[in-house]
Chain A
Amino acid sequence: MPPPEIAPGRLSPAEIERNFADLHPPLSKSEALIAADRCYFCFAAPCTTACPTGIDIPRFIQSIRSDDIEGAAYAILSENIMGGMCARVCPTEVLCEEACVRNVHEDKPVDIGLLQRFATDPILEAGTQLFERAAPTGRRIAVVGGGPAALSCAHRLACLGHGVTIYCRDGKLAGLNEYGIAAYKAVDDFAQREASYILSIGGIEVRTDVALGRELSLDSLRRGYDAVFLAIGLSGVNRLGIESEDMDGVIDAVRYIAELRQAADKSRLPVGRRVVVIGGGMTAIDVAVQSRLLGAEDVTIVYRRGREQMGASRYEQELAQADGVLVKHWARPARILGEARVAGVEFECTREGADGRLEGKGEFFTLPADVVFKAVGQEFSVDGANGANPALRMENGRIAVDAERRTSIENVWAGGDCAKGGKDLTVVAVQDGKLAAQSIDHYLRQRQ
C-alpha cells in the first residue's frame, strides 16, 4: 500500500488528456506551403548530411511545394521507413534543423520535422503502399528484436525479395517507440500504426513474446536461417551504485515510462507529489515531464554535470523547464534517505577536476521525495547472446560491428542500441537496419 503522497488521479481525466495531447500539432496545408517555401534547396544540403538516414530533405520539401505528397513521402520513406516516427521524435534541433543554413542569417531553421510529418502522415493514414517487393529470392532471415532497427531491416529485406521472420520479446512491435518515448510525442497509437504500415509490404512473419536466451538461441537461428540480424536493444538498467537504491519508491524510469505508455487510463497511474529524477538524458526529461503532466507538484532533475554535458538537447531541457521541471546541475546522489520507503535523496555537489573527471566537493544537500526515478542510462545485457559458438565479439559493452553492421560471426549482423555506435536514437537505429539489410542482401547474392 503506497503512502498517500503517491496517488493516482492528481488531475482530472480531461486535464490529463489535454496534457498528453500532441506536443507539436501537425501543420495545416497553408502552414506547410509557407514552411516549404523557406527551404533554399541547398546544394549538397547540410540538413541531408546531418540526417543519420540521409533523407534528401530539399527533394521532399520541393515535392511538398508542388503538391506531390506521395513523391515527398517516397523520398523520405525510401531512406527511412520510420520517417513518420522520426518526424515526431528526432531531436531535429541537433540534427537536420541545426544544420539548416537559415540558422546562419535568421536563427530560425526550416521546420523540417513538421514538414516530414506533413508528407508522411497522409500516406500512413491511407495505407498507400509506396514500395514493391522484388522477385522472391527464397532466402530467409531472422530478425531478432521488434524495435526501429529490426523493423527497418525487415522492411528493406522484404523489399529486396527475401523472407523475414521477426522475433520480438515484447507483446507489441516497435520497441521503444511503443514502450519508451514520451506519450505526447506519438499520440493516437502511432507506433503501432507505423509498424502495421511497415509490415504491409508483405513477406514479414512476426512472432511476439519470444526472446533470445529464452526460447531462442543464436546458434539455432544461424542454422535455421540464411542470416540473422540482432536488434535486441539495451535490456539492462544502469545502477546508481549507492546505498539503499533498491528501497521502495526508487523506480527505474524506463519501466515507469513503459507502464505509462501502456496504461489505458493515465488518470489511474500512481504519481508522486515530490519527484526527484536522477540523470541527464532523454529518459530523465521524459519521466520528469510526464510526472508533471500527471500532476506531480515538485519535480526536480538532478544531473551530475553541467547543462552542456546533458544527453538531452537544449530544446528538450527548455521543454522540461517550461513544464515546471526544476533542473539542478553539478550534483550526484550520495544516499537514499528513508526507512521502509524513500523519503528523500542526499546529493553531493560536484565539479570537474583537473583531469576532466568528476569529483565531489564534499558539500551536501537533501531533496525530499516520494518517488525517485533512476534514469542514468541503460546497458547492453549480453545474456541472450551468451553461449553462442563462436562467441560474439563485444566492444565497450555492446556488440562490435563494422561499417556494414556485420558482427564478428559470419551471417550475423547487429544494429540499433545493442550495437557499437548505437546512439539511442530511432533514426540511427533505422539506418543500422537499412545498412544491415543491404549488406545481408549483398552477402546472400554473392553466395548464390
Chain B
Amino acid sequence: MSAIDLASEFLGIRSPNPFWLASAPPTDKAYNVNRAFEAGWGGVVWKTLGEDPPIVNVSGPRYGAIHSNDRRVIGFNNVELITDRPLETNLKEIRQVKRDWPDRALVVSVMLPMNREAWARYVPMIEDTGADALELNFGCPHGMSERGMGSAVGQVPEYIQQTTEWCKSVARVPVIIKLTPNVTNILGPAKAAKEGGADAVSLINTLNSIMRVDYDTLTMYPATDGKGSHGGYCGPAVKPIALHMVAEIARNPATRGLPISGIGGVSDWRDAVDFLALGASNVQVCTAAMVYGFKIIDDLTSGLSHFLRDKGMQGVADLVGRAVPSVTDWQYLNLNYVVKARIDQDLCIKCGRCHIVCEDASHQAITHTVNGERRFEVIDAECVGCNLCVSVCPVVDCITMERLTGGVDTRTGRAIDETKQDWTTHPNNPMRRPAG
C-alpha cells in the first residue's frame, strides 16, 4: 500500500510534512537549515533574531542532560540565548534559503524590547526576506527574561496582548506567539495572544530548570566558573506538560480554534500523533534533532505516514484534534465506571513488581503466593483499578485493565451501575447539582 501524503498547511503556509525544526541552535544559520531541508524537514523556525548589537553567549557549557543508564537523553536543558550573529547576516541568509527552498516553511523567530518602535522598525526588515511568518519568542526563560524579554513577557498576559498588537499592526505575514510554560495556567497567555490578534500560538517553550549539582564540588551543574544559572528544560521528559497545555487551549471555549503548533519532546512519530490528536496542527522539534541529528526526520515521516494509512486517514488534517473531545475535567469522569487489573499468567515472568508496588504504595490487591507457589493474582475485592501495576509491569500487555459490565464490585459490594454518574451529581458532593 502506498504511503499517505503528509503535506501540511499551517496558517496557509504549505510544507511537505508537518515537522518543523523549532527555533533553536539547529536553525541558527543557513548551513544547518540547508542540511535540515536536504534531510527532508518540512520547515524551520529560524533561531530568534534580536536587535543589534548581537547578544553574547557564555563560553562555558550551555547544555546539560539527564540520561538513562544507557546514555539516552531523557531531559535536556540550555542557557543559550537568542542568535549571537549580526542581524544583517541572518537576514541575508534567510533570504537566500527561502529562495533556494520555496516549498518549505520558513518562519522567523523574533524577540524585541517592549516598545512599539522596535516592532515597527524590525518587522518590515524581516518580512523583506520573504519569510512565511513571524514567531514571537515570549518563551525563553533564561537570560533574556532578565532583560524584560522572552518569558518575562510571556508570563504577563497584558504584555503578550500589547506586544502582539504592536507586531500585528505592522506585519503583513501571519504572526505566531510562542508561549512559555512557566505559568500556572496557560489559558491566560493564550487568550491574551488571541485578543492581541495572533494568528496562532506555538508551545511549549522550555521550563525553568536546574539539572543537578556536581557531586564532587557541590556546586550547580553545569557551571561556568563555579556558578550556574537556571536553564530551559526540554526533551522527552517535558512532553506530558506540553500535551496538557496544548489540549487546554484546544478544548477551552475562549481559545478553541486558535491554530496551535505543538512543541515539547517530540522524538518519534508517536509523539507527533499525541500533539496532533490533542489539537496541534503541526509539530516543532528541537531536542531530538540536537541529540540525534537531522536524520530522525525519516522515522517521523515514515511512521506518521504508516499510522495515518493504518487508521484509514487521508492526511494529517484528519488526525488533528481527534482526541480533544476525550479530554475533560476530573469532575466529569464517570464514577460508576469500574475496572479491575487482569494479569495474563502466560505472559507473567513472576518478577513480583506488581505485588510489591500494590503492597507498599496502593491497595494490597495482588498476591505473591498462591497454594504455596510464587504467583501474582489480582484480589478483586481490594483492587481499585488504579493502573499502578500496569505502569510498573516490565512485560507489555501482561497486565491489562478490564471493565466490569455487570454483577457486583466485590470491593464496594455495590452492583455495577451502567449509567453514568460524575462528581457534579454525586451524593458526597456538598455542591452537587440535581441529577438530571
Contacts and interface: CB of A to CB of B under 8 A. Distances in A.
Interface of A: 30, 33-34, 36-37, 40-46, 65, 101-102, 104-105
A36 B69 contact: yes
Interface string B327-356: 000000000000000000001011111011
Contacts of B351: 40, 42-43, 101
A34 B70 contact: yes
Contacts of A34: 69-70
Contacts of A101: 349-351
B394 interface: yes
B68 interface: yes
B251 interface: no
Contacts of B368: 43-44
A436 B327 CA distance: 64
Contacts of B68: 37
Given A43-B368, A44-B368, A33 B70 contact: yes
A65 B69 contact: yes
A40 B357 CA distance: 13
16 contacts: A33-B69, A37-B70, A40-B351, A40-B394, A41-B353, A42-B350, A42-B353, A43-B352, A43-B353, A43-B355, A44-B368, A44-B374, A45-B352, A101-B351, A102-B349, A104-B349
A-B pairs, 4 with minimum CB distance:
A43-B352, A43-B356, A37-B69, A104-B349
Nearest to B369: A44
A105 B349 contact: yes
A42 B68 CA distance: 20
Contacts of B408: none
Nearest to B398: A105
Nearest to A104: B349
B351 to A, nearest CB: 4
Contacts of B71: 30
Interface in B343-387: 347, 349-353, 355-356, 368, 374
A72 B147 CA distance: 48
A104 B69 CA distance: 23
B395 interface: yes
Given A33-B70, A41-B353, A46-B350, 13 more contacts: A36-B69, A40-B351, A40-B353, A42-B350, A42-B352, A43-B352, A43-B368, A44-B368, A46-B374, A102-B349, A104-B350, A105-B347, A105-B349
A263 B29 CA distance: 68
Interface in B63-85: 68-71
A34 B352 CA distance: 22
A105 B353 CA distance: 15
For B347, B352, B368, the residue with the greatest tally of chain A CB atoms inside 10 Å of its CB is B352
Q: Which of B71, B351, B352 has the most CB of A within 10 A?
A: B351
A369 to B, nearest CB: 47
Nearest to B352: A43
Contacts of A30: 71
A30 B68 CA distance: 12
A105 B395 CA distance: 8
Contacts of A33: 69-70
Nearest to A40: B351
Nearest to A106: B349
Nearest to A41: B353
A58 B88 CA distance: 59
Contacts of B356: 43
B285 to A, nearest CB: 26
Contacts of A37: 68-70
A34 B350 CA distance: 22
Nearest to B347: A105
From A34, A46, A101, name the one whose CB has the most chain B CB atoms within 10 angstroms.
A101
A446 B290 CA distance: 68
A96 to B, nearest CB: 14
A415 to B, nearest CB: 29
A92 B71 CA distance: 28
B215 to A, nearest CB: 9
A148 to B, nearest CB: 30
A36 B70 CA distance: 10
Contacts of B355: 43
B43 to A, nearest CB: 37
Contacts of A41: 353
Interface in B43-96: 68-71
A85 B288 CA distance: 44
Nearest to A38: B69
A46 B375 CA distance: 12
Interface in B388-402: 394-395
A46 B376 CA distance: 14
A178 to B, nearest CB: 36
Contacts of B394: 40
B82 to A, nearest CB: 36
B223 to A, nearest CB: 20
A427 to B, nearest CB: 22
B396 to A, nearest CB: 10
A45 B355 CA distance: 12
A170 to B, nearest CB: 43
Nearest to A66: B69
A41 B356 CA distance: 10
Contacts of B353: 40-43
Contacts of B347: 105
A13 B69 CA distance: 41
Contacts of B350: 42, 46, 101, 104
- Most chain B Cβ neighbours within 10 Å, of A40, A41, A43, A101: A43
A30 B355 CA distance: 31
